[in-house]
Structure 1
Amino acid sequence: MHMTHHITTRMNQRGIRKDLIDLTLDLGDIDGDRFVLSSKIIDKEMSDLQRRLKMLSDARKKGGIVVVADGDHLITAYHKNSFNAKLAQNS
């Protein structure tokens, strides 16, 4: 979106950075001609990010995760560093 001189002036006066404007446009609720990023939305996003960070941490502890699929069927899953090429050749 094009930023007018007015919004640039108000952002500077109010200490609102461009990245916060982008965040509001991305996550905020539309209310008529306004985008509203409320505390409720912020709290939910932060909770979702904390949950995602926990999952990423768990996956990292396992050395990564591999999921094998065939079309829309999930076949198997294993830790990324658990595959041993020498053992696979002997089979």
Structure 2
Amino acid sequence: MAKTRHIHKRMSQRGISSRLVDLVSQFGMDHGDKVILSRKNTEALIGAVDTLKSQLIEVQTKGGLVVVEQDDHQITVYPLDSYSRKKAKEGDRRVLH
């Protein structure tokens, strides 16, 4: 969204960066022609980000995950590094002998 000269002046006077204005626009609550991001809403967002961070760390410790989907159905899930073509070929050779 375009910013007026007025908001640039007020941001400068009040020490509010463009990044903070963008955060309020993205995560704040609409109240008529205003968008408000309160302290309470900010605390809730921080909690959600902390939860997301711990879940992402869990995925990372598993080496990444793959979810197979088709037609709005989740079919299976497995660790990203669990499939090895080399191991699969070795397994095929053992079966043939």
TM class, shorter-length: 0.7 to 0.9
Count the aligned residue pairs.
Answer: 91
Residue of structure 1 in register with 2:6 after alignment: 6
State the distance in 2 between where 1:86 and 1:35 align: 55
Larger Rg: 2
- The sequence identity of aligned pairs, in percent, is 37
- Aligned-residue CA RMSD (Å): 1.5
TM-score of the pair, normalised by structure 2: 0.83
Q: Residue 15 of structure 1 aligns with which residue?
A: 15
Closer/same/farther in 2, CA of residues 31 and 62 from structure 1, 3 Å limit = same
Unaligned runs of 5+ in 2: none
Q: Which one has more relative contact order, counting CA pairs under 8 Å at least 6 apart?
A: 1
Q: Secondary structure at the match of 1:3?
A: coil
Once the two structures are superposed, residues 3-55 of structure 1 have per-residue CA deviations (whole angstroms, 9 ceiling, x without a partner) of 22221111111100011111111111111221111011111111111111111
How far the C-alpha of 1:86 sits from its partner, in A, is 3.1
Opposite residue 56 of structure 1, the aligned amino acid is: L
SS at match of 1:78: strand
